[in-house]
Amino acid sequence: MTYTPRDIAGLVAVITGATSGIGKETARLLVSLGCKVVINARGKDRLEELVQELGSDNTAYVAGDCADPAVARQISHLALEKFGKIDIVIPNAGIGMYGSILDYSDDQISQMLRTNIDSTIHIIRAALPAMIESGFGDIVIVASVAGFQSAANQAVYSGTKHAQVGIAAALDRELREKGVRVALICPAGVATEFAMGTGRTAGMEKLATYLKPEDVAHQIVHILQQPKTVRTFIWTLWSMNQQS
């Protein structure tokens, strides 16, 4: 018997951190499969470029910091206003700063906590009522393998990723009976703009050994294409050249 993935054409997705890397490639892939997407990031110019690429019939955007509850609600309101529903939420916004816990300013540390933890919570809070009302939906939180294994010089970053793991685990238990699935996708290093200038440098040779953002995007889609009778939770990814 042939196993047929779930057809996700026509579903509406909200993606944060969508102007580069994993978020951008996920938006591209979902639209190619017939989904509608509402994208968010801080940079308006990049958002407009992606909407132009993917088409305004398929895509809409809200520029701003989704760690702000008002911005998160604006994103969800736009999805409902333009596309009529929210089926998928992908909290992907995140930043990394590698180094000693003493290496960065108070403001930089607060920004990492806010971007990685607060934005995850608030975009889910904003979108979830519509998903619960419909009895249908998927939340795919983009975290990191750092949420399970902490390395030296990653104390704050790893702490934020451990927080995402805890958030996802509780939500999985809370929302399953309401028809909303929760999955946690945890890649190792991905060759993106992530942490440039705060632990990575452009052109560093190690980046060539990392996962590609397309690898993670395809895994997110694979999760979404599972039949609704199936629920999986933790997905970890490494390239063939990375140590697990």
CB 171 within 8 A of CB 122: no
For residue 104, indicate whether it is catalytic: no
Instruction: Single out the catalytic residue among 61, 98, 104, 157.
Output: 157
Ramachandran region of residue 109, left (φ > 0), alpha (ψ -120 to 50) or beta? alpha
Chain centre to alpha carbon of residue 197: 22
Burial per residue of 75-85, b for 16 or more beta-carbon CB atoms within 10 angstroms, e otherwise: bbebbeeebeb
Helices 119-134, 155-175: crossing angle, 10 deg rounding: 10
Question: Which residues belong to the active site?
Answer: 157
